[in-house]
Amino acid sequence: MREALAQARRAYSPGEVPVGAVLVCSSGAVLSAAHNLVESLHDPTAHAEILCVRRAAAAAGNWRLHDTTLYSTLEPCPMCLSALALARVDAVVYAAKDLRLGVCGTWLPVHEEKHPFHTFRDVRGGVLEDEAAELMRHFFRERRAEGKAARGDSCGSAHLGCNGT
């Protein structure tokens, strides 16, 4: 998870949502690591987890990533958890809960559903949760402040015609 957090920090400075992921095989060797590149690539699917799967599959020459665990700094969204299931990733370990899109029990418990060809061996969260959650809070606090400054909006309501006074 420490490497996933390092990846998340790399995403921070270019303005990407600071999410990092690392895919590890059963021996503990890192197969791939990535951070969000949604903004940089103008690609809504360029989540850290998806990029990890793509890189590991390309390196392995096989899209089936059996005997692997994905570590992510944020609870996977529906798209990412589906990709992990399709890639046959065995386990998912995440740090912070995603209150809006998390499908490992926070928003929806999708990981508990039996799938015809793949069931996760283990899905758990809360590993280094405070550190990952603080990174996300700081990022979004900073982004909101930048947005208000750019709009000259002190109350956050420029879209309603409010001049902030």
pLDDT at 110: 65
Residue 165, pLDDT above cutoff 50: no
- Tokens matching residue 53: 């799967």
Instruction: Estimate the share of the chain in helix, then strand, then coil, as percent rounded to the nearest 5.
Output: 40, 15, 45
pLDDT at 163: 47
- Whose tokens are 């603080």? That residue is 134
Q: Are strands 68-74 and 91-96 parallel, antiparallel or unpaired?
A: parallel
142 is catalytic: no
- Tokens matching residue 20: 């990092």
Q: Out of 3, 49, 113, 131, pick the active-site residue.
A: 49
pLDDT tens per residue, range 46-64: 999 999 999 999 999 999 9
In Å, what is the CA distance from 18 to each residue of 63, 139, 161?
A: 26, 7, 31
Residue 94 φ then ψ, to 5°: -130, 160
Domain spans, the chain: 1-137
What does the DSSP 8-state code read for residue 65?
-
Q: Is the dihedral of CA 52, 56, 59, 63 positive or negative?
A: negative
Interatomic CA distance for residues 46 and 57, integer angstroms: 15
- The domain covering 1-137 belongs, at the CATH homologous superfamily level, to Cytidine Deaminase, domain 2 (3.40.140.10)
The percent of residues above 90 in pLDDT, for the chain, comes to: 67
Strand order in the sheet with 68-74: 30-35, 20-25, 68-74, 91-96, 122-124
Interatomic CA distance for residues 34 and 59, integer angstroms: 14
Q: Which amino acid is at 145?
A: A
pLDDT tens per residue, range 104-133: 776 666 666 676 777 888 899 999 999 999
pLDDT tens per residue, range 137-164: 999 998 888 777 777 755 555 445 544 4
